[in-house]
Amino acid sequence: MKLEAIYHKPYSEFAFPVAPDTLVIRLRTAKNDVNTCILIYHEKYDTSQRGKVKMDKVASDGMFDYYEVELNVGIKRIKYMFYLEDNYSIKWYSSDGFFDYMPQWGHFTYSYICKDDIFHEVEWFRNSTIYQIFPDRFAKFPPDTENSGKRTIHGGNIKGIIDRFDHLVKLGVDVVYLNPIFKSESYHRYDVVDYYEIDPMFGSKEELRELMDLCHKNGIKVIFDGVFNHSGDKFFAFRDVVEKGEKSKYANWYFINSFPVQGYPRPNYECFSFYGGMPKLNTGNPETAKYFLDVVKYWTVEFGVDGWRLDAADEVDRKFWRKLRDMLKDLNKDVVLIGEIFDEASSWLWGDQFDSVINYPLKAMINDLFAYRSIDVETFRNRISGYIMKFNKKVLSSLVNIISTHDTPRFLTLCNGDEKRFEMAVVFQFTFPGVPLIYYGDEIGMEGEGDPDCRRPMIWDEAKWNKKTLELYKFLIGLRKRFDALRTGEYGELPVTGCNGILAYRRGRGENGIIVAMNTLDRKENVVVETGDSFDTVKAFESLKDEERLNVDKKRINICLNPFEWRIYKACGEL
């Protein structure tokens, strides 16, 4: 038994509550090393309340297996240890280490399941599909017929979004996420000059109210982009620092290394990256924090903003995020907070900071399998499993799943225009746990390299749309609305025999379960997917095909998949 690989830590992703009477406990072991894992537990102060339960292996990555149990035994104060067997030995594992006998002391402890420590999902958000709009590039009203797509500023505005609102309704999205709309110096508006004003090029506050009302009347939520890591260099506080130097009452609003302030050739103050036009805000300063908390409160209360996507969130102090969360949740517990974090972000997702993050690590895996084809299915599955085990399981259904954003090349371009591989990625995005985000134009087949090419103006000439891609998005959005399994069902890998290039997995169980299978290879494959006892019969359905009844036995489906073909299966029951 490889003891050095065995790991557990209370109050982490290895032990967390999901309900007032339920504690999830996980254990990591070396891959294919342990045959049996049993949790032994008792009440913290009353050892007569005791028991044991076998743990299930729920995931495996390249190096480790992960065992899990949801302990619901009527006690909230729990002491526990693990009993392990391999082919040759037995061990007991406690906080004091490993033993050949059951120790009397040294139990791991979860002292009390506190109701307020449970991560609570924002239900409307978890059930949503998001549509991201880059305002300058989406639509202009009246339309600009001379827009060649080559200018820096294209003049998109709020009236343009209103004019094209029917596109969002027909698509079926539930949320509109707007990149920054506040008064700024640039076309992207991440260098804010005035946080209390709409950029005049976008329109007026009255027009914004009209858009907000239109969205809400059609059941569509609105998420704003909050830029609180940095301001623009024309923001009143920074201008004052530039003018008055260390005597400015706003000097502590920023991180100034020396005076006088110099932006070029190299800023002598901290900023976003090393761009002097975006000086970094000191949100640890109480006056700075209060100003931006008031900004968020103003837009949330006055305009009914439903959520905030928070730019460069991992560069802002967590005390500020906790203050922001407490303030917003007191106003409206259903306001959603989404952090923009490019790396693994589980430490922001314990219910005290964010409700969700933009899931860039998942995008990296999707890129590697479907776009770059740099990894095989086994590697992909290993990476997915390891990633899932980093999170409180209640968080997964709320993470924002992306394949394209305003900061990345469009996914179809990453696929070198290969529509089949693009389709597979979209199917995975919509059927993996999380909230799918559509970057404007992806639904009609737009392409684009990195910033700024990925921010091309939206194409409104329908003759240039990829109608098949549009129908795929409509189909998948509708599928998520129809089946709870795709919004809340647990994810589980399914064994495949016959070819290692087939990715197969399930969402949910029983007659409400969904099975997905896709061929990531450029050749036709015949395979058998092991579905388990919960799937008695299945029906297959795709966006552009009629339903087909499959003759299967209780535990497997025989599938013939063409190159880069995908299938979605519904377990027995009505479609």
Q: Report the candidate in 218, 215, 184, 188 with the shortest Cα–Cα distance to residue 199.
A: 184
Task: Give the DSSP letter of residue 231.
Answer: -
Per annotation, catalytic residue among 68, 121, 191, 340? 340
Task: Give the DSSP letter of residue 341.
Answer: -
d(CA 157, CA 182): 12
Residue 272 class from Cβ within 10 Å (0-12 exposed, 13-18 middle, 19+ buried)?
Answer: buried
Residue 530 burial (CB count, 10 A): 13
Q: Measuring CA to CA, how many Å separate 114 from each of 21, 42, 47, 177, 443? A: 9, 18, 21, 34, 43
d(CA 444, CA 431): 20
DSSP string, 288-326: HHHHHHHHHHHHHHHH---EEEETTGGGS-HHHHHHHHH
d(CA 556, CA 264): 65
Question: What length does the chain have?
Answer: 575
Q: Going by C-beta distance under 8 Å and a sequence separation of 6 or more, which residues neighbour residue 121?
A: 355, 394, 395, 397, 398
d(CA 199, CA 204): 8
Outline where 189-307 has alpha helix (H): 205-217, 236-244, 286-303
Per annotation, catalytic residue among 311, 355, 423, 442? 311
Residue 217 burial (CB count, 10 A): 8
d(CA 454, CA 333): 35
In the residue annotation, 522 being an active-site residue is answered as no
Strands 15-19 and 22-30: antiparallel
d(CA 110, CA 167): 51
Contact 23, 75 (CB under 8 A): no
Contact 192, 184 (CB under 8 A): yes
Joined tokens for residue 120? 């609570």
d(CA 388, CA 13): 10
In the residue annotation, 311 being an active-site residue is answered as yes
Indicate which residues carry an active-site annotation: 311, 340
